[in-house]
Structure 1
């Protein structure tokens, strides 16, 4: 791989789509191949992982990482989008009667494994179409509940009708649907008013750069730029010798050998038997392999 391949941590501003941000970063870096690993709604801010160059081939490794958010919900009003951008569908002043203990208990009850119906305005498929396309035509998408995991959720401030909270969730979890459901648990309903993604797996927004400073971040090798194996800290690592590099280069497997533990783990990292292995030559990422029967089989090879 080259220095033009890696992971860039970007702090997405509000009022821009994730696609807009990727186009902006592409122009700043002057590269053709670039993508991201998880959309943020236009009103939301925070961490967007941008894959640059050949690293776009590794997008699937990032999709399963857990995500953390700071959020604000407003009790007493539901919308058709489950957030502040939508049309009001119900209002209830019952939030005035709620006490803080009941609110905190409702949040705590959501922690763990559960099921969640995605928002009507989401990219999930319903009847062969995107749910948002149906919703925009005034139809109600028939979306099935999906299993999600709320690893942590806690109220950080209550100033009724606003409730601020933080949450760490599995991939595929909609925080606006979480706010909707907690509002219904409490009675008066709710919608999401603010959302900031603070972390994805081992990466935090405090290390991110603005989209307009992408070129400087890469040129100066700032902490926002993670080339090569630095972009995969949750994977196990295996150093290759010269002979093994030739084997991997031609798609052949090598013995498992001395596989090192990850430098950083995530709350739901797979165990060692299923977690991929980064095959390296010093700090250069040679390939990503899977382990089977005591051998490492290359799945994606980057070495020429």
Structure 2
């Protein structure tokens, strides 16, 4: 029997905007594209549930150093909630818990009244089947063993939550939210506010800041490109690392200061233009991004997280 050839991995740096399919975990999707690109190092910027589809930014190589920034970004979703049934996972992949009739007098006004308290800064209880860790272990691992779990509550931000349309017990909703927000929990709490329960049957992530109009690729599309056009065409699907840093002010350094920041030394920035203290994207004189720096109130720039090529000893 012919064995599948072993993947020979290589250094590769960049960002892939992956359109994750339903029925696959985020890690499974990550591993598939990592092998397609033959990338030595890869990571994603926040899990999507197996049921969910849509944007999963994948970081290759040095781009993994900014994965934490993207993980904390705002995100947008479209979801379908079905009223009248709760499940242990708050979505259609879970076991049914309780079935209740949908109120006969339910109208758009009553739905809006239930949505309103779920907007803005809210306190939210995570689903028990989630990647959130407790005692160093994901909640879903504890839940699968049948352990009793008290899911933690935390503060989250819901920028927008709107009803798009209703079709019987199905509500299609749009959501824009901050980091750590669970759409499944929003739907669960909406169902309880309406008195009949609810669970998610479809969930699609539309964008992740700063990729608000993303050109996404499915695994099948990428595989077809690799097989039909070759590795160079596949690499053309990647975004440069700096595409993930567009939300930060840009600092361009001359050759001497770029060398100093690469050695980990502090650089004094010119007084003009005025510098706002905070995290900045640092570039060299050729426009190549070197990494992230921190500017203080005195106009001093210190290295925060540099890419490997910022070091003077790197090729």
Residue 302 of structure 2 corresponds to 297
Inter-CA distance 224–233: structure 2 relative to 1 (3 Å threshold): farther
1:254 pairs with 2:286: no
1:280 pairs with 2:293: no
Question: Structure 1 CA distance, aligned partners of 2:108 and 2:236?
Answer: 40
What is the CA distance between 1:55 and its match in structure 2?
A: 1.1
1:116 pairs with 2:119: no
1:239 pairs with 2:252: yes
Inter-CA distance 60–155: structure 2 relative to 1 (3 Å threshold): same
What is the CA distance between 1:220 and its match in structure 2?
A: 4.4
Residue 69 of structure 1 corresponds to 77
From 204, 210, 227, give the equivalent of 2:240: 227
Question: Secondary structure at the residue paired with 1:93?
Answer: coil
- Please give the TM-score of this superposition, normalised by the length of structure 1: 0.89
CA contact (8 A) 2:114 2:190 kept: yes
What is the CA distance between 1:142 and its match in structure 2?
A: 1.5
Inter-CA distance 256–54: structure 2 relative to 1 (3 Å threshold): same
How many residue pairs align between the two structures?
293
Question: Secondary structure at the residue paired with 2:39?
Answer: coil
Question: Structure 1 CA distance, aligned partners of 2:272 and 2:56?
Answer: 30
CA contact (8 A) 2:11 2:41 kept: no
Inter-CA distance 287–259: structure 2 relative to 1 (3 Å threshold): farther
Inter-CA distance 81–232: structure 2 relative to 1 (3 Å threshold): same
From 206, 210, 213, give the equivalent of 1:202: 210
- Please give the TM-score of this superposition, normalised by the length of structure 2: 0.86
CA contact (8 A) 1:95 1:160 kept: no
Residue 267 of structure 1 corresponds to none
Gaps of 5+ in 2: 1-9
Inter-CA distance 14–183: structure 2 relative to 1 (3 Å threshold): same
Question: Structure 2 CA distance, aligned partners of 1:137 and 1:259?
Answer: 60
Q: Which moved more, 1:141-150 or 1:41-50?
A: 141-150
CA-based RMSD: 2.5
- Equivalence map 1:24-63=2 (5 Å): 24-63=32-71
Question: Structure 2 CA distance, aligned partners of 1:171 and 1:34?
Answer: 21
Considering only CA atoms, is the larger Rg found in Structure 1 or Structure 2? 2
What is the CA distance between 1:157 and its match in structure 2?
A: 0.6
What is the CA distance between 1:259 and its match in structure 2?
A: 8.9
What is the CA distance between 1:107 and its match in structure 2?
A: 1.5
Inter-CA distance 235–177: structure 2 relative to 1 (3 Å threshold): same
